[in-house]
Amino acid sequence: MKTVENVLDSAREYCRLIEETDEYSTRWLARLLELLPRLHAQISRLSLAGIELDLSCEPDLDARFELFSRLHALLGERDGYWLEFDGMPGSQAMTGSLADDLTDIYSELKDILRLIEVEVDPVIALQGLSQGYRIHWGQHLVDAERHLYSLQARNQLAG
């Protein structure tokens, strides 16, 4: 199934991009800006309706925090953003975090890729991914896309 392979290829590319980035660069954010909408379109086209699955892995909270901390430091001022429902700038702390969005997306994709490595049927694994997208990480994906677009529109991708 071509759609399944496309999603898996994009998931692998995303995870590599997050894992291999150790310094801020405009190319890194530009690649994310290009990849996230593609991943979004692919996962949206994935029609694997069926039973609700519980393929969740036990989260490694220490690893997630380490990844979040690394991305937060890497992004610096570019990390925080206002969510749609937030008040006026200056009245409270920003509540959106690109580092948090990227970490949650990474964790979901990496868990599914690990399941496939231990020979879980890719279609079944992607059902779990699709389910997680609907109930959790899809919002992080939309928020990350929106924030990256906003940074680009304000010419703030450059270091």
Q: How many domains does the chain have?
A: 1
Q: Is 159 exposed, middle or buried (0-12, 13-18, 19+ CB in 10 A)?
A: exposed
Query: What is the DSSP secondary-structure string of 72-100?
Result: HHHHGGGSEE--TT--STTSS---EEHHH
Domain membership flag for residue 124: yes
- Give the residue-averaged pLDDT of 96-125: 90
Domain membership flag for residue 73: yes
- Give the residue with greater pLDDT, 100 vs 26: 100
pLDDT at 46: 76
pLDDT tens readout for residues 49-107: 554 445 555 668 889 999 999 999 999 999 999 876 555 555 555 579 999 999 999 99
pLDDT at 151: 93
Residue pair 37/73 in contact (Cβ under 8 Å)? The answer is no
| Domain span holding position 134 | 2-46+64-153
* DSSP letter assigned to residue 110: H
* DSSP letter assigned to residue 123: H
Domain membership flag for residue 158: no
pLDDT at 51: 43
Domain membership flag for residue 121: yes
Provide the mean pLDDT of the chain.
84
- Give the residue-averaged pLDDT of 104-132: 87
- Give the residue-averaged pLDDT of 113-131: 84
- Give the residue with greater pLDDT, 51 vs 127: 127
Domain membership flag for residue 58: no
| Residue 40: closest CA among 138, 115, 108 | 138
pTM of the model: 0.85
- Give the residue with greater pLDDT, 148 vs 126: 148
CATH number of domain containing 109: 1.20.120.1550
Q: Residue 150 pLDDT more than 80?
A: yes
